[in-house]
Structure 1
Amino acid sequence: MQTLPRNVYSVASVREIDRTAIEDHGIPGYTLMTRAGAAALKNARQQFPDAQRWQVVCGAGNNAGDGYVVARLAANEGLVVSVLSLVDPSRLTGDAATACQDFQAEGGTIVPWTGQLDDDA
């Protein structure tokens, strides 16, 4: 199995890259989120090619949005996906809310966090 680098960019660097892409190049934030989710899914599938059941844990903020994008794309590829939400999805805003809504619009279901993981995933 291939190992991933621990840190490629600092948080400040990633924020600046995002800001430049959005403000200077006109790329919508949700487009960036979708691209990141697709890249994350591709890498995860390479790392775990036999995994057919996935559990995605989503919190708040844009990282939650990334999780919902990964979950939506994984489900679209035929994987069985379970999403556990650490926060009420109604608290999400912006691109994260859009990602959550898109996941649900395509049939995805969200299970509230109860303190344990789904043994079936």
Structure 2
Amino acid sequence: MNLPVEIYTAEAVRQIDSNAINKLGIAGYTLMRRAAQAALDSAIEHFPGAERWQIVCGAGNNAGDGYVLARLASQQGIAVSVLALTDPAKLQGDAATAYKDFDAAGGAIGHWHGELDAAAELLVDG
């Protein structure tokens, strides 16, 4: 799969998401799952030897994208460590759903203590 090379501003992405949700009737969590699947496919294509990933999850829907990606990557047999910059209990909406699904699938998180996983072969900002 070839992804488009266009770069969008944060505001443009919010508008695209809003149109997909409000005009096309696509659920926000469905968009999140599709984005995570596309990210997984792209990462596997471009970094096929990366067997150990670290996904950093902040707050908001980007964190949700990260938790969905972590769950999907783990299901593919990739060793994934998740670093939570925000307490997942504070997540709301689709991001909270994404964390709950990640947790239900056996996902575990670490908390920021000033260092990333030096053994990670791929670092993802979620």
Q: TM-score normalised to the size of structure 2? A: 0.87
Report the equivalent of 2:10. 11
- C-alpha distance in structure 1 between counterparts of 2:119 and 2:91, whole Å: 27
Report the equivalent of 1:21. 20
Report the equivalent of 1:89. 88
> What is the CA-CA distance between 1:26 and the residue it aligns to?
1.0
Aligned pairs for 1:97-112 within 5 A: 97-112=96-111
Deviates more, 1:30-39 or 1:14-23: 14-23
Identity percentage of aligned residues: 60
Instruction: Please give the per-residue CA displacement for 1:3-24, whole angstroms capped at 9, x wherever unaligned.
Output: x988622222211111111111
> What amino acid sits opposite 1:41 in the alignment?
L
> What is the CA-CA distance between 1:64 and the residue it aligns to?
0.5
- C-alpha distance in structure 2 between counterparts of 1:18 and 1:103, whole Å: 22
Q: Is residue 61 from structure 1 mapped to residue 60 from structure 2 by the alignment?
A: yes
Instruction: Please give the per-residue CA displacement for 1:37-71, whole angstroms capped at 9, x wherever unaligned.
Output: 11111111112101111100000011101111110
> What amino acid sits opposite 2:44 in the alignment?
R
Instruction: Identify unmatched segments of 5+ residues in structure 2.
Output: 121-126
Query: How many residues are aligned here?
Result: 118
Report the equivalent of 2:41. 42
Partner-residue secondary structure (3-state), 2:83: strand
Q: Is residue 32 from structure 1 mapped to residue 48 from structure 2 by the alignment?
A: no
Q: TM-score normalised to the size of structure 1? A: 0.90
Report the equivalent of 2:117. 118
Deviates more, 1:67-76 or 1:7-16: 7-16
RMSD: 1.6
Instruction: Identify unmatched segments of 5+ residues in structure 1.
Output: none
- C-alpha distance in structure 2 between counterparts of 1:59 and 1:118, whole Å: 16
Runs of 4+ in structure 1 off by over 4 angstroms are 4-7
Which one has more relative contact order, counting CA pairs under 8 Å at least 6 apart?
2
- C-alpha distance in structure 2 between counterparts of 1:117 and 1:7, whole Å: 29
> What is the CA-CA distance between 1:118 and the residue it aligns to?
2.1
Partner-residue secondary structure (3-state), 1:108: coil
> What is the CA-CA distance between 1:120 and the residue it aligns to?
3.8
